[in-house]
Amino acid sequence: MTFKKILGLAGLVLASALFLTACGSTNDDSNTLTVGVMTMSDSDKARWDKIEDLLEEEDIDLEFKEFTDYSQPNKALANGEVDINAFQHYNFLDNWNKENKEDLAVVAETYISPIHLFSGTENGKAKYTDLKELPDGAQIAVPNDATNESRALYVLQDAGLIKLDVSGQELATIANISENKKNLDIKELDASQTARALSSADAAIVNNSYAVEAGVDYDTSLYTEEVNDASEQWINVIAAQSDWKDSDKAEIINKLIKVYHTDEVKKVIDETSEGIDQPVW
């Protein structure tokens, strides 16, 4: 074979490869949305599977980036690692924006997940079945990040266990406890460790994502957060960068919201979360 023929053959192969690459690139990045989430429960997976199925008809692909630490998904959104995230409520986002001097924006509401005060366990069984059984000096574990600790303290107040000297949407800390008749020993832990603390503490307030992941038995709940007008701050949201409406992902973000807010997805949430998550749209 001559040198010219070899070059000709090589050129033909290269041209064919380029043609095939071009033909295979119809599903490009403009049709892909990267979503930041916490480690997904079975219920989370079920709802996102349904959303993916519905978006398939729109030729839209979802890619998920899972996190295990609440401090990470917003950082990833701010620096462009993900296009949107879905893991937090209004209160958490507002406080994160203030603390980090960012302006991440809410693009849609999704659901609310009332949190629980769970009984501590002994030999795998609940120590208590009623709030009144909690002894004086009982140790109660709560999340230590500002937002979730405040929420936990308000739940303890609503349960009649403590009183706070702040009200409404003000952040509460242990320093704001104005009355503690049972001398509760409130132990601050990383949110991811509160479920593990149930084997040593008398009770713990555990975020639902960690409770489900740890297999906490919801029948051991001593108190469930009330859902009322004051609960709006705890509605979970989908967040994006503040200029998302002007981005090249605006159209597919809007399509995602439209699909999320359907009866099909609501049905999946109702059936798989066992009442833990309550759709709000």
Task: Report which of 170, 187, 177 is spatially closest to residue 94, judged by C-alpha positions.
Answer: 170
| pLDDT (0 to 100) of residue 28 | 57
Write down the pLDDT at residue 251. Answer: 97
User: Cα 188 from chain centroid?
Assistant: 21
Per-residue confidence (pLDDT) for residue 236, from 0 to 100: 96
Q: What local confidence, expressed as pLDDT, does residue 14 receive?
A: 43
Contact 143, 270 (CB under 8 A): no
The whole-angstrom separation of Cα 12 and Cα 139 is 75
Ordered DSSP codes for 155-224: HHHHTTS-EES--TTS---GGGEEE-TT--EEEEE-GGGTTGGGGTSSEEEE-HHHHHHHT--GGGEEEE
pLDDT for position 170 = 85
**Cα–Cα distance between 224 and 119 in angstroms, integer?**
12
Instruction: State residue 38's pLDDT score.
Output: 94
* Structural contact between residues 110 and 256, judged by C-beta atoms closer than 8 angstroms: no
pLDDT < 50 regions, the chain? 1-27
Tell me if 240 sits within 8 A of 253, measured CB to CB: yes
pLDDT tens-digit readout, 146-198: 889 999 999 999 999 999 999 877 889 999 999 999 999 999 999 999 999 99
Structural domains of the chain, with CATH: 31-113+232-279 (3.40.190.10), 116-226 (3.40.190.10)
Q: What's the confidence (pLDDT) of residue 101?
A: 97
